[in-house]
A and B are shown apart, each in its own frame.
Chain A
Amino acid sequence: MRSGTLDYVVKRVAFALVTIFIVLTFNFVLFRLLPGSAVTDLSRVPNASPALREALAREFGLASSKWDQYLAYLDQLFHGNLGVSYVNQQPVWDNLRTDVANTVPMVALGTVVAVIAGITSGLVSAWRRRTPADYLLTNSAIAFYSFPTQWLGLMLIVLFGSYLPTTGMTTPFQIGGSFWQQAGDELQHMILPSLTIALTLYGQYTLVVRSAVLETLGEDYVLTARAKGVRTRRLLTRHVLRNAMLPIVTLMGLSFGYIVGGALLVETVFTWPGIGLAVYQAVLQRDYPMLQGAFLLLTISVVVFNLLADLLYARLDPRVSG
């Protein structure tokens, strides 16, 4: 690794770490500044006496000073402990683990589809600039970009609800079945939620890719490549796309935060038992430890993805290494 690259990597990683630390603190502050403090919410316990509430408050460590709580919180986090859900008294991490496992394939499928479709159509519409194909692709991208995610999901239910499953991850009461049957079933359930994510992202990605490609098409090295006799396909992929990938990678890294938000809405619409739905439930139930844990997880994953995007950028762009 050249010293420039090392420089860059160390800086990016350090920044990611600092960001995560700030996120941790922000997270703590945000949740300790809530009105209707966590203690009052223990009034969920019917007929609770003040003594009991106090006991519970002690159990959740809410009685000590904020600073001690903060240290305890960091200590707990350091040991991988995100606290205990108010609602089901289970460690937040245990609750979230399955949720994350459910969310990842659905979101990943949608994102991958969106990336592939977005890059293709962005590339094609930039290359076919000012032709009917461009107008079609660009306008549909703008439309998909502008539809509210949850609304788009609902529309898909309207359109495809009778052909494809619209709720949950599996056919509820199908017991047994081979692994492949189950996988096929899960994939079927995944189609609509993933499609919703894919479509919203598709719009955004197409527009981003289109403008990145347009900008690249104006670069002199494209003219050079054309002068060299490079054919269309190679020119578009090796020269144009390869360079346009630089802004695209950065923007896609940034769009991870957007994906997380979209996943939340999509999971609510399709009752996909993932982390988004968990956040939704936690909001409804004021399950602050869950909300806090999920929020932390989401934020850190966004930071990590941005970091990965940055590192990928460094790999793609030799100029980074100075």
Chain B
Amino acid sequence: MSGRSGMSGMSGPILRLDELRTYYPARRNLVDWARRRPRRVVRAVDGVSFEVHEGEILALVGETGCGKTSTIQTVVGGFPATSGRVVVDGRDVTRLSGRRLRAVRRITQMIFQDPYESLNPRLRIRKAVEEPLQVHKLVASRSERRRLASEALERVGLTPAELFVDRFPHELSGGQRQRVAIAAALILNPRLLLADEPVSMLDVSIRAGVLSLIDGLRRERAMAVVLVTHDLSTAAHYADRIAVMYLGRIVEEGPTADVLRNPQHPYTQALLSVVPKSDPRDRFVPRVLEGETPNPANVPAGCRFHPRCPVATAECTVVDPALAPPRASRAAGHRVACILTQGPPPVEEREAAGANNA
């Protein structure tokens, strides 16, 4: 749904990734060691840049293993960045430490994929929700903590909170657990919420509830959200902007409607084509890509998509394209990393875009 990003642009982005790289060392076996081969790396995140503004939902989509989780884990400090910058609220967290870092962490909260796993089975709900307050030593008094916890629970729809606070996680349903996890994330009043496939483990029938909750919260509190998902329909429905990731890079990024209706990158096009539609009468012609999910330990030279690309040219095997505005889209902020579609749009289109932006 377009037109929701109206709040952006007022201040600077709440999150900005700048050529972020996160490499994992690969295990070296004896033969490699004996032959003095250099230690290989898994280039899980390999030069990712994007911005998220207050009150905006950015969906990060892509195949499994393309580095979505690694990207947001790097933002919250789950993994160290190999290079690049992670700027949260104007401060580069890769250079921060100690109290300043904690202050940034406080405004950055995360929700994990698996609602069954994200709560300690031995802690009561109240403890789980209060925990962030204790860790950040924000509220000294117990009663105040309790009050805040109850408030947070009610905010995510677990009303009345008294019915839930003394339960253990296994006494809740999956959707309820995910709500508790959200409540625990919200209690610190974060300005940035990172949600890693928050509903993929939930039943279709209750997904919408959790997602609408997140959607509502960001509107109500101008929270920025990075929503990781492999379900393009979900992204389409909730996100303001979509970033398509492929093998550690963002290959296309732009306002949801533009990316969906006017995909520029061959990968995005393929990805969109394979999403089945609910209505059996809808046209469904999947353009299935051949080949296996690519391996980030072995990134091809040139455009990393070229081995699977149906339209790749010889040039694609040597030129590694950066994100740039596509030729065939007039939308602002729509960028693509494909030499075949990049290029300055015709002048009149640029003007139209500028006008639109203002």
Please name all residues of chain A whose beta carbon is closer than 8 Å to the beta carbon of B29 when the two chains form the complex: 3-4, 7, 322
B31 touches A (CB below 8 Å): yes
- Decide if A87 is an interface residue (CB 8 Å cutoff): no
User: Which residue of chain B is the closest to A6 with respect to CB atoms?
Assistant: B30
- Measured between beta carbons, the chain A residues less than 8 angstroms from B30 are 3, 6-7, 10-11
Give Cα distance in the complex from A53 to B1, angstroms.
98
Which of chain B's residues has its CB closest to A322's CB? B29
Instruction: Report the minimum CB–CB distance from A5 to chain B (whole Å).
Output: 10
Q: Mark A4-47, 1 if CB is under 8 A from B, else 0.
A: 10110011000000000000000000000000000000000000
Which residues of B lie under 8 Å from residue A11 when comparing CB positions? Answer: 30
Q: Type the 1/0 row for B17-29, where 1 means its CB is closer than 8 Å to any CB of A.
A: 0000000000001
- Give bound CA distance, A76 to B31, whole Å: 36
Q: Contacts of A7 on B, CB cut-off 8 Å? A: 29-31
Q: How far is the CA of A3 from the CA of B28 in the complex (A)?
A: 11
Cα distance, A322 to B28, chains bound together (Å)? 12
Task: Tell me the minimal C-beta distance from A4 to chain B in angstroms.
Answer: 7
B216-256 interface code vs A (CB 8 A; 1 in, 0 out) = 00000000000000000000000000000000000000000
Chain A interface residue number, banded: under 10
In Å, the complex CA distance between A6 and B31 comes to 9
Chain B residues with CB under 8 Å of A3's CB are 29-31
Q: How far is the CA of A3 from the CA of B29 in the complex (A)?
A: 8
Tell me the smallest distance from the CB of B243 to a CB of chain A, in Å. 34
A4 to B27 CA separation, bound complex (whole angstroms): 11
- Kindly report which residue of chain A lies nearest to residue B33, judged by CB atoms: A7
- Complex Cα distance A6/B29, Å? 9
List chain B residues, Cβ under 8 A from A322: 29
Give the distance in Å from the alpha carbon of A149 to the alpha carbon of B203 in the complex: 55
Complex CA gap A322/B24 in Å reads 18
A10 surroundings in chain B (CB, below 8 A): 30
| A6 CB contacts on chain B under 8 angstroms | 30-31
A4 vs B30: C-alpha distance in the bound complex, in angstroms? 8
B213 shortest CB reach to chain A, Å: 34
Closest-by-CB residue of A relative to B29 is A7
Shortest CB-to-CB span from B31 to chain A, Å, is 4
Instruction: Give the distance to chain A from B71, nearest Cβ to Cβ, in Å.
Output: 28
B23-46 residues at the A interface, CB under 8 angstroms: 29-31
Measured CA separation A6–B35 after assembly (Å): 14
CA distance A7 to B31 in the complex (A): 8
Instruction: Across the interface, name the chain A residue whose C-beta is closest to B27.
Output: A322
Query: Closest approach, in angstroms, between the C-beta of B34 and any C-beta of chain A?
Result: 10
Q: Which residue of B lies closest to A11 (CB)?
A: B30
A320 to chain B, nearest CB (A): 12
> Which chain B residue lies CB-closest to A4?
B29
Shortest B135–chain A CB gap in Å is 37
- Alpha-carbon distance A6/B30, docked complex (angstroms): 8
A3 to chain B, nearest CB (A): 4
A281 to B300, CA, bound (A): 70
- A322 to B30 CA separation, bound complex (whole angstroms): 12
Distance between Cα atoms of A178 and B303 in the complex (Å): 83
Report Cα–Cα, A322/B29, bound state, in Å: 10
Q: Which residues of B contact A4 (CB under 8 A)?
A: 29
Shortest CB–CB separation between residue A13 and chain B, in angstroms? 12
Docked CA distance A51–B23 (Å): 72
- In the bound assembly, the distance between CA atoms of A19 and B223 in angstroms comes to 57
User: How far is it, in angstroms, between the C-alpha of A7 and the C-alpha of B27 when the chains are bound?
Assistant: 12
Q: Give the CA-CA distance A4 to B29 in the complex, in Å.
A: 7
A242 to B3, CA, bound (A): 60
Complex: how many Å from CA A25 to CA B255? 69
How far does the Cβ of B220 sit from chain A's closest Cβ, in whole Å? 44
The distance in angstroms between the C-alpha atoms of A10 and B29, with both chains bound, is 11
Closest to B28 in A: A7
Chain A residues in 8 Å Cβ range of B31: 3, 6-7
In whole angstroms, what is the CA distance A254 to B30 when docked?
26
How long is the Cα–Cα vector from A10 to B34 in the complex, in angstroms? Answer: 12
Cα-based distance from A4 to B32 in the complex (angstroms): 11
Name A272-322 residues within 8 Å CB distance of B. 322
**Closest CB of chain B to A10's CB: distance in Å?**
6
A10–B30 CA distance with the chains assembled, in angstroms = 9
Q: What separation, in Å, do the CA atoms of A5 and B30 have in the docked complex?
A: 10
B302 to chain A, nearest CB (A): 29
Interface positions of B from 160 to 192, Cβ below 8 Å from A: none
Q: From residue A1, how far is it (CB to closest CB) to chain B in Å?
A: 11
For the complex, what is the distance from the CA of A322 to the CA of B31, rounded to whole Å? 13
Within 8 A of A (CB), among B128-172: none
Expressed in whole angstroms, the Cα–Cα distance for A37 and B30 within the complex equals: 46
- Bound complex: CA of A11 vs CA of B28, how far in Å? 13
Nearest-Cβ distance from residue B36 to partner chain A, whole angstroms: 15
Please give me the 6 A-B residue pairs with the lowest Cβ-Cβ distance, nearest first: A3-B31, A7-B30, A7-B29, A3-B29, A10-B30, A6-B30
Q: Which residues of A contact B (CB under 8 A)?
A: 3-4, 6-7, 10-11, 322
Q: List 12 A-B contacts (CB under 8 A).
A: A3-B29, A3-B30, A3-B31, A4-B29, A6-B30, A6-B31, A7-B29, A7-B30, A7-B31, A10-B30, A11-B30, A322-B29
**Could you list 10 further interchain pairs (A-B, Cβ under 8 angstroms) beyond the known A7-B30, A10-B30?**
A3-B29, A3-B30, A3-B31, A4-B29, A6-B30, A6-B31, A7-B29, A7-B31, A11-B30, A322-B29
Q: Which residues of B contact A (CB under 8 A)?
A: 29-31
